[in-house]
Structure 1
Amino acid sequence: MNLNLIHTFCLIYEHQGISRAADELHLSQPTVSYSLKQLRRAYNDQLFYRERGLLHPTLRAQQIYPDLRAALDLIASTELFSHGFEPASSTREFVLMLSDLGEVVFLPLIQSLFETRAPSAQLRIEPLDVPKVPEKLTTGEIDAAIQTPHFHSDDVERTVIYRDVYVVVANMNHPRIQESVSLDQLSAERFIRIKSSIGHDAPENLLLKAGVQLQTGILGTRVVSVPGVVMNSDLLGIIPEAVVESLGWSERLQILPSPIPAERMEVSLMSRVKRRRTAPQKWFIDLIKEGVESMSRSTGGENLPEVRYSRGG
């Protein structure tokens, strides 16, 4: 058993196949297959079985993977810290998961800092898939994610990096809504609503508790689509104020406070816990926080970076 075999095992586990592991290792598939045979002999277990074109881990593989991956991460972190990480000369690819809202509000400032500090590195954005965030952070497939939904994981740290307020948006020439909106008006109007699965259902839940059920005109999937629809219809929307500000449409819409006061929406940076972070990841996480902080200063939003919970270290 050696580090190369452990690395091979982890990549097969994470990619559920030999070909993608071979690509990442820059080895031939027969070479990786031979390494898998050695691993099977060493652990006296099949480790993986094929089903529907993918390699699935056996119970034994599931048991040993977390410790082996943690060991690799620790070694990588130790080596990188001892040699130092130089962002100015790095060619590393950093991977960040963002929703459509995150791409509009946060990405421009993050990218500006990224290009300045690490001009030879690459930044890849993956669509936010909340249920997969813990696994992808743990396996190293992504370096960070920005989201509003909460979850708990022993290997993931959640840091609140921005707080925003939900507002009601209406057409400037709306025939019934002008300057303010009441609960009765919200009950009578139709809305462009966003599917709750992406994590923006808090305002509607508060309204439900007050006995207000929003009428649906459009049920959408992208928060950033709301202002455009509202500007061209009598539909109302409830969205974070930062969306309107970032799109530059604050002068083209009525931005009205909700008749039910609510706590500010928390935007969180999800990352590995500190003990499993590599030096590049630490640098990247600090850069994201700096970018969001600069946005808060320019827009007047509330930025209070704090670790809300840290599980596992």
Structure 2
Amino acid sequence: MGNLDLNLIRTFVMLYETRSVTVTAEQLFVTQPSISYALSKLRDVFKDRLFIRTKGGMEPTATAQQLYSELSRSLSMIENTITNVQSFDPAKSQKCFRVAMTDLGEMTLLPSIFARLQKEAPNVELEVVPLEIEKVDEWMSSGKIDAVICSRHLESQSIERHIIRKERYVCIINDKFSPSPQALTMEQFMSHRHAVVTKSLGHGAAEEALAHLGVKRKVSLKVSHFSTLPSVLEKTGVMTILPFKIATLFTENNALKIYELPFEVADFEVALHWQSRHNNSSSHSWFRELIIQSLSEY
């Protein structure tokens, strides 16, 4: 066991979480042959294959599964201890933080976050990763991202969350094509054609509510980004469902009208999420607090 240094533990944990030699090499900033060499040493130490190459990736053996919980916990404690001993100075740091969010987040939240970041840590780099809600757990556990801002409640026990604000969904349409009454009826809602945004961004609550009612609206357009909608709405008579905050933003520069939905959709929370293993990391704590403070008056 004397040959099991910190780099070997880090390689084992990352390989277990990613199931990929390629991704592990990328995350640890080493070559793939280096990962293969480290795996060979790990196999010698534990007298077990540890990982078996399959079509779905590197599948851990029973021994690897038994080792992971203890080694990952030990690695987290060691890395947090090292991070806390090393002072983090945001004014001098050149660290890169990665946060996943939708284009809605980029439009409404990112300006405040980046402005504060530039003021407090001008040399720190911020990389925004386009949100794919189905991949968030994998991205968080593998270290591809440091945090995510989204409206979906992430179920993993290893993920912490802080609520940024509460929101509700509304309907929006070009004012020229809007129904005359102030209140939108279900009949009027169903008579219009609609533009929808892919569920991969985490905004599928309205579709789920309609499915529960047993009705299906007329969808004419599906897009992967919210930011394309203002120009579409400006030239057509389609309706779309948006969070109230972004709908209000869209109406500032476009002749659009907002309606309350004619059916019940639960309000939702926009929250910051991060891995609990980073709770005691001084750099990650500073980054989380920067996001929270920059959005506190949003």
Alignment TM class, shorter chain as reference: 0.7 to 0.9
- Tell me what 2:283 maps to: 280
Find the aligned partners of 1:30 and 1:208 in 2 and give their Cα distance: 50
Residues 28-79 of structure 1, C-alpha deviation per residue, up to 9 Å, x if partnerless? 6655544332211111111223346964433322332343223222212112
- For residues 112-131 of structure 1, the aligned pairs below 5 Å read 112-131=115-134
Shift of 1:278: 1.8
Find the aligned partners of 2:31 and 2:215 in 1 and give their Cα distance: 61
- Tell me what 1:10 maps to: 13
1:48 aligns with 2:51: yes
Report SS of the residue matched to 2:156: coil
Residues 236-286 of structure 1, C-alpha deviation per residue, up to 9 Å, x if partnerless? 111012223445636531122223454422112111126754221111111
For the 8 Å contact 2:27–2:144, the answer to whether it is kept is: no
Find the aligned partners of 2:57 and 2:83 in 1 and give their Cα distance: 33
- Tell me what 1:301 maps to: none
Structure 1: 4+ residue segments shifted above 6 A: none
- Tell me what 2:226 maps to: 223
Shift of 1:162: 1.5
- Tell me what 1:38 maps to: 41
Q: CA RMSD in A?
A: 2.8
Mean Cα displacement is larger for which, 269-278 or 42-51? 269-278
Aligned residues: 295
Find the aligned partners of 2:7 and 2:178 in 1 and give their Cα distance: 69
Shift of 1:177: 4.3
For the 8 Å contact 2:234–2:254, the answer to whether it is kept is: no
Report SS of the residue matched to 1:169: strand
Find the aligned partners of 2:152 and 2:167 in 1 and give their Cα distance: 14
Report SS of the residue matched to 2:129: strand
Report SS of the residue matched to 1:49: strand
For the 8 Å contact 1:134–1:155, the answer to whether it is kept is: no
Q: TM-score, normalised by structure 2?
A: 0.85
Find the aligned partners of 2:207 and 2:132 in 1 and give their Cα distance: 22
Aligned CA distance change for structure 1 residues 204 and 20 (closer, same or farther; 3 Å): closer
Aligned CA distance change for structure 1 residues 92 and 250 (closer, same or farther; 3 Å): same
1:156 aligns with 2:170: no
Residues 178-222 of structure 1, C-alpha deviation per residue, up to 9 Å, x if partnerless? 644222211211111223343323234445555653221212222
1:188 aligns with 2:191: yes
For the 8 Å contact 2:194–2:238, the answer to whether it is kept is: yes
Report SS of the residue matched to 1:244: helix
For the 8 Å contact 2:193–2:238, the answer to whether it is kept is: yes
Unmatched 5+ residue regions in structure 1? Answer: 296-313
- Tell me what 1:304 maps to: none
1:101 aligns with 2:104: yes
Paired residue type of 2:275: R
- Tell me what 2:204 maps to: 201
Aligned CA distance change for structure 1 residues 128 and 25 (closer, same or farther; 3 Å): closer
Aligned CA distance change for structure 1 residues 19 and 257 (closer, same or farther; 3 Å): closer
Aligned CA distance change for structure 1 residues 163 and 49 (closer, same or farther; 3 Å): same
For the 8 Å contact 2:148–2:272, the answer to whether it is kept is: yes
For the 8 Å contact 2:251–2:257, the answer to whether it is kept is: no
- Tell me what 1:170 maps to: 173
For the 8 Å contact 2:250–2:256, the answer to whether it is kept is: no
Paired residue type of 1:198: L
Report SS of the residue matched to 1:141: coil
Aligned CA distance change for structure 1 residues 187 and 133 (closer, same or farther; 3 Å): same
For the 8 Å contact 1:73–1:277, the answer to whether it is kept is: no
Paired residue type of 1:289: I
For the 8 Å contact 1:193–1:216, the answer to whether it is kept is: yes
Aligned CA distance change for structure 1 residues 19 and 281 (closer, same or farther; 3 Å): same
Q: TM-score, normalised by structure 1?
A: 0.82
Find the aligned partners of 1:146 and 1:161 in 2 and give their Cα distance: 9
